[in-house]
Amino acid sequence: MNKLVVPAVIAAAAVATPAWSQTPQPQGPRFQPKPYFEMPLEKDPTRQVRLQSVVIPAGAGNQFHRHPGDQWWAVQEGEVTFTVKGQAPRVLKAGDFVYVPRGTIHRNQNVSANPARAIELNITDKDKPQTEQVAE
């Protein structure tokens, strides 16, 4: 039975879409997340850990938002424009990463003509919406 549970959880997670990608966007490309796992943080079941790969098609982006926890983004391919609200945008290229502390208002955009790929690690509060949209 246990041999079936793990693949079922992975398959279910693969079709789940994070809240920030569900925000109504213009008729354009959208982020394409592929979760690897989501589980309670060891020794602190009030928090959860999620690791996922994200493909960002050319022209795709999300709105300003924040998370109830910490986030790490590492660009693996292409370029991602990372903006903390009130600061100048930064272009991250393959091999670059950012740490996004709890509550930081930010967004990610691919303004290039090519797709980008990143890996994302989140450690957030359990049972809270993982993303809160913020007015621009």
Nearest to 56 by CA among 76, 35, 83, 85: 76
Residues 61-103 pLDDT 10s: 999 999 999 999 999 999 999 999 999 999 999 999 999 999 9
Provide the CATH number for the domain around residue 58: 2.60.120.10
Number of domains forming the structure of the chain: 1
For the entire predicted model, the pTM comes to 0.76
The Cβ-side half-sphere exposure at 101, using a 13 Å CA radius, reads: 0
Domain range for 35 is 2-133
